[in-house]
Amino acid sequence: MISESETPAVTPLLTVEGLKASYDESIILRGIDMVVKPNSVVALLGRNGVGKTSLLRSIMGLMPKTEGDITFEGQSIRSLRSDQRARMGLGYVPQGRDIFPNLTVQENLEVSISISGKAGRERLDEVYELFPVVKEMLGRKGGVLSGGQQQQLAIGRAILTNPKLLILDEPTEGIQPSIIDQIEDAIHLLKKRGNLSIILVEQYLDFAKAASDEFYILDRGNVVLSGESEELTADVIGKYLTV
């Protein structure tokens, strides 16, 4: 029988160690430690303004000033630019989706393919399968889609870049329940296919709990609790997340 101590440790996909970040004089992150395992979904939770988006932006190399280290597939990425991080396999869907409103859905997808090349084009069918509405709306301008459709397009576009880590900032914000369900299904399907981990910032706790394996709760720039998502009980939610 193999004892627990002999089980080989899983090498994390992403490790954040002692991460501090600030905007000008205001310190936003005060020493964050976080691990994302391969093929896992991590929910990042916390009340408004505690630093969740800033942590995502730090991982993507978009914060003006950071200290500490961020390792991706065993390599420090802290000094890499955001485009270099993207090429290593970090895909980011910011809050508000960031699609091109004046381009058609197809053109929005082509922008991703122009970066990812053939490998991206080969994933188009997968995106259409995950989000059929994206295929139905190919000729429409991005700006006329509903919020939920834009979110599906934004996630689809990120998938075309073949990310190993997909970072989603509030994917359910302002979206109707039926589309939230489709996004949850897509997360489960993507995970099942393997080779992808996801970090999602989420205010909608039922979704966060159902979609994720592990959670981290932030408060004023610190991790105050982390664990397996099934441990997200009403007590925990009441103590750390209720406004």
In angstroms, what is the minimal distance from the CB of 63 to ligand ATP?
9
Q: Determine which residue in the list 16, 28, 32, 105 makes contact with ligand ATP, applying CB under 6 A.
A: 28
| Options 3-11, 32-40, 41-49, 191-199: segment touching ligand ATP (CB under 6 A) | 41-49
Give the integer Cα–Cα distance in Å for 61 and 76: 12
Contact call for residue 242 and ligand ATP (CB under 6 A): no
In angstroms, what is the minimal distance from the CB of 138 to ligand ATP?
31
Contact call for residue 50 and ligand ATP (CB under 6 A): yes
| Options 46-54, 130-138, 149-157, 209-217: segment touching ligand ATP (CB under 6 A) | 46-54
Give the integer Cα–Cα distance in Å for 184 and 188: 6
Angle at 169 between CA 146 and CA 191, to 5 degrees: 95
Contact call for residue 48 and ligand ATP (CB under 6 A): yes
In angstroms, what is the minimal distance from the CB of 51 to ligand ATP?
4
Contact call for residue 49 and ligand ATP (CB under 6 A): yes
Contact call for residue 195 and ligand ATP (CB under 6 A): no
For ligand ATP, which is the closer residue by CB, 33 or 219? 219
Contact call for residue 117 and ligand ATP (CB under 6 A): no
| Maximum distance among all Cα pairs of the chain, rounded to whole angstroms | 61
Q: What is the enclosing helix (H) or strand (E) of 106?
A: helix 105-116
Give the integer Cα–Cα distance in Å for 39 and 194: 6
Residues touching ligand ATP: how many (CB under 6 A)? 11
For ligand ATP, which is the closer residue by CB, 49 or 117? 49
Burial of 108-143, coded b for 16+ CB within 10 Å and e otherwise, reads bbbebbeebeeebeebbeebbebbebbbebeeebbe
Quote the DSSP letter at residue 7: S
Binding mask 8-27 for ligand ATP (x = CB under 6 A): ---------------x--x-
Binding site for ligand ATP (CB under 6 A): 23, 26, 28, 46, 48-54
